[in-house]
Amino acid sequence: MIDEELLNELNKQLNSELYSAYLYLSMAAYFDYKGLKGFAHWMKKQAQEEVEHAMKFYEYINDRGGRVVLEAIEKPPTDWKTVTDVFRHALEHERRVTERIHRLVDLARKHDDKPTEVFLIWFVEEQVEEEKMFSEILQLLEYAGETPQAILMLNAHLAQRK
């Protein structure tokens, strides 16, 4: 049976992944409203990925005989000053998620829960990818200085996300 403290933290992470989905959907809505359909599409895909992350926690908690407890999801922000600000915010958010995942690994180790530690490895690796993806887009935006040409080019590029 999984330790109670660890189970609570896994449930919190499930909630946090759903918040990530909500945050990126809010960013998508911001871009859709501004007519930046490529950016919006990219964020909607990201929101879907976050729901998949949440479901990994859901299934894992069940597999270990724990109970999934769904709590309220925090309201995400709805406005940002610029496109660059959106990506800056997203990258900061992902860095916080990485810290949370690392703390979870520490907790699994503290309880000598090897299955949970192994389960979390996928997330440790995924966070490297997530941070990389957001930093690369942010770097392009900062480099281009948000000229209309750069925004339109990036908009077309991001529309291709599968």
In 3-state terms the chain splits into helix, strand, coil percentages (rounded to 5) of 80, 0, 20
Nearer Cβ to ligand FEO (6/101): 101
- Is 94 one of the binding residues for ligand FEO (CB under 6 A)? yes
Binding ligand FEO by CB under 6 A: which of 50, 61, 120, 155? 50
Cα separation, 19 vs 45, whole angstroms: 15
Cα separation, 18 vs 52, whole angstroms: 9
Nearer Cβ to ligand FEO (20/26): 20
Nearer Cβ to ligand FEO (97/120): 97
* Residue 7 CA neighbour count, 13 Å, CB half: 14
Binding ligand FEO by CB under 6 A: which of 20, 26, 84, 116? 20
Copy the structure tokens of residue 36: 């930046």
Residues that bind ligand FEO (CB under 6 A): 17, 20, 50, 53, 94, 97, 130
